[in-house]
Amino acid sequence: MKKLVIFGAGDIAELAHYYFTTDTDYSVVAFCVDAQFIKEDKFCDLPVVPFEDLSEHYPSATHDMFIALSYAKLNALRKTKFDDAREKGYALASYVSSKASVLNQGNIGANAFILEDNTVQPFVTIGDNVTLWSGNHIGHHSVISDHTFISSHVVVSGGVKIGERCFIGVNATLRDHIEIGDKCVIGAGALLLADAEPEGVYLGTATDRARVPSTRLRGI
């Protein structure tokens, strides 16, 4: 089995450990974080080592890495650690769930995290360090650029181009043949019908509380 070190020691790292362990031919052997953030020397019953000293313990010649971080700071931290790991000579592993429908001929970059129930249609391009949380639809001929995070139940229609370091929230919908500029934030439930300029923020409308309390509803 191929040996894997996961960067991170939080919820996403724990999930990555589960997915790689149960659904790939990788053997996760350790976790790493920056030395200043090490709180425990074990995580998921595996060693936690300083990223700065990683090569001494788990050299790149015999180990791959996966960067298990969120979209914090518009994916900047995940991008930085992705670049740092490559500079150290590590190959970045991707996880593509066996329960996802991925029909794009494997056109997926390094350090992808594609969870269950995603539908990726033919002729889609997925860049490096892209996360597709569970249950998304990525339409044909769409492009998802590097370091972008798409949460659950997002609909990306056909021919959409999504820039680098974007975040797209739960249940957002993007109509076909539009372009989303770099570093855009598209909030939960948002509907985009036209191009989005770089660094744009597009928020859906939250549901207001009704004036009638739940105890006065007759139909429930």
pLDDT of residue 118: 98
Could you count the other beta carbons within 10 Å of the beta carbon of residue 190?
Answer: 21
pLDDT of residue 205: 86
What span, in angstroms and rounded, lies between the C-alpha atoms of 119 and 16?
Answer: 20
Hey, what domains does the chain have and what are their CATH numbers? Answer: 2-87 (3.40.50.20), 94-200 (2.160.10.10)
Q: Look at residue 192 and give its three-state secondary structure.
A: strand
pLDDT of residue 191: 97
What are the backbone dihedrals phi and psi of residue 96, each rounded to the nearest 5 degrees, phi first?
Answer: -125, 115
pLDDT average per 10 residues of sequence, the chain (220 residues): 96 98 98 96 97 97 98 97 98 98 97 98 98 98 98 98 98 98 98 97 91 86
pLDDT of residue 14: 98
